[in-house]
Structure 1
Amino acid sequence: MTADQTSTPVDVTLVSGPSGAGSIDDFELFYARRALRLFKARLGREKLLDLLAKDIEEGNAALRESALASGGRFTGGTTVLATKGLKAGEFMAWMGEAFDDQSVLLEAHPEHYVMGNRTDGTVHIVENVGPHISDFSMGSWSAEAMDWAEDAAELLPEAEFPYKRASNLFLADGTIVGRVLIQFGDTADGFTSNLTVYLPASCPEDVLEHHLRHFAVEFRNWIEVAGPAQS
């Protein structure tokens, strides 16, 4: 192609064939999820962690470095989801039981590798934080965990968003590498989710951006599973 020629995007349209509803992108997403479910199940938790060991070591080191460089300062961002056909209390009740079901937790996002309750009340998570695969813990959703969030600019009125959870995210050595503040409030036909993540201030902007996208994917999928479960 010469310098004065412009590239014309190629567009492919599905005309006929499959009888089921959906686009080619929808079909691809279904098969990608099915393949991931198969590989994760075949590998199991321990083999998956062995496979990702080097990535986890590098990811934890990067987040630890960012946390130390930030000196306890965090930058926050919020993903907002609007749901119809399900109330906040119903979703929170479902979430309370979902963390006992490993398959539901892992399938919510392609980059969920480990997620589940520990006996001490924390949650063990191995997932991407931006480009980094990290192995960290999320603290228990206790009243004490809300202390740091009381002065957060993102804290919403109790009357409108009565369902709130807050927690620190920390590495095995205790380094706090993030925080989450999730808040849910009913609307006339459903509920609104305000999902805030805080990452070390020195993290590149795209790391925060990708975790806001991460929230959108995982909570959308959890909400869609919760809906039929409550009917």
Structure 2
Amino acid sequence: MTTDQTLRPVTVTLTSGPAGPGSVDDFELFYARRALSRFRTRLGRQGLLELLAEDIKEGNAFLRESARASDGSFTAGTTVLTTHGLTSSEFLAWMDKAFAADENALLEGHPEHFVMAPEADGSFHVVENIGPHVCSFHMGGWGTDAMAWAAGADELLPESDFPHKMSSNLFLADGTVVGRALTQFGDTADGFTASLTVYVPTACPGEVLEHHLRHYAVEFRNWILAAAAARA
């Protein structure tokens, strides 16, 4: 081969063998999820926290510095999912139960979920990736009128179309607000639409917002399918 020749792309097609449905990608995803579930179960929450301690330290330092440099300003992005065959009320009822007492169901929503647990103060503790960074933060309010921002958010949709709304600050253990979340749900003729907005400090690189929009798509798609399976 001469140096000026262009390499042709290589493709692989499954021609025969497995009797079950699905592509090679589907098979790999199944085995990856099974392996991940095994490690989560064996390590447990405390084991995961100890394993990720240095990553969390670096990730939280990144968020704290990004929040400081942004001086209270955030950049928003929204992922929209359309669901058929399940109502928003059915999904949100499943979500309420999962957030109250089923950490495993929440963890299974995304490969980069490490801790998702309610705290005694009413906040919700999350350890997950924010972009490439593993971070430990809490969801909920922080301080007087902490949630007033949601009422004036540009991303707020009409109550008539999206009556189910949840907003939250994302804050570190020291109270530093490092993000926000606004989720809105509205029924359609045969299902519902989910509008999922995340706010990251404006100093964050663009990839942080982009990856969290992808994160939303993965976790909420999986949670919606889990809610549908639980109903059956």
Which TM-score band applies after superposition, normalised by the shorter structure? over 0.9
Identify the residue that residue 61 of structure 1 maps to in structure 2.
61
Aligned-residue offset at 1:121: 1.3
| Amino acid across the alignment from 1:49 | L
Aligned-residue offset at 1:146: 4.3
> Do the aligned partners of residues 230 and 147 (structure 1) sit closer, same or farther apart at CA in structure 2, a change above 3 Å counting?
farther
| Amino acid across the alignment from 1:7 | L
Identity %: 67
Identify the residue that residue 161 of structure 2 maps to in structure 1.
160
Residues 145, 166 of structure 1: 8 Å contact kept:
no
Structure 2: segments with no counterpart, 5+ residues: none
Residues 146, 165 of structure 1: 8 Å contact kept:
no
Where in structure 2 are the equivalents of 1:213-228 lying within 5 Å? 213-228=214-229
Aligned-residue offset at 1:230: 2.5
Quick one: distance in 1 between partners of 2:162 and 2:81? 13
Provide the TM-score with structure 1 as the length reference.
0.96
Identify the residue that residue 11 of structure 1 maps to in structure 2.
11
Structure 1: segments with no counterpart, 5+ residues: none
Q: After the TM superposition, which of the residue ranges 191-200 and 8-17 deviates more from structure 2?
A: 8-17
Aligned-residue offset at 1:145: 5.9
Residues 147, 169 of structure 2: 8 Å contact kept:
no
The count of residues paired between Structure 1 and Structure 2 equals 228
Quick one: distance in 1 between partners of 2:139 and 2:81? 22
| Amino acid across the alignment from 1:147 | A
Identify the residue that residue 182 of structure 2 maps to in structure 1.
181
Deviations 1:55-113 (A, max 9, x none): 00000000100000000000000000000000011111111001110110111100000
4+ aligned runs moved over 6 Å, structure 1: none
Provide the TM-score with structure 2 as the length reference.
0.96
Aligned-residue offset at 1:148: 1.1
Q: How well do the aligned residues superpose, as a CA RMSD in angstroms?
A: 1.1
Quick one: distance in 2 between partners of 1:163 and 1:183? 6
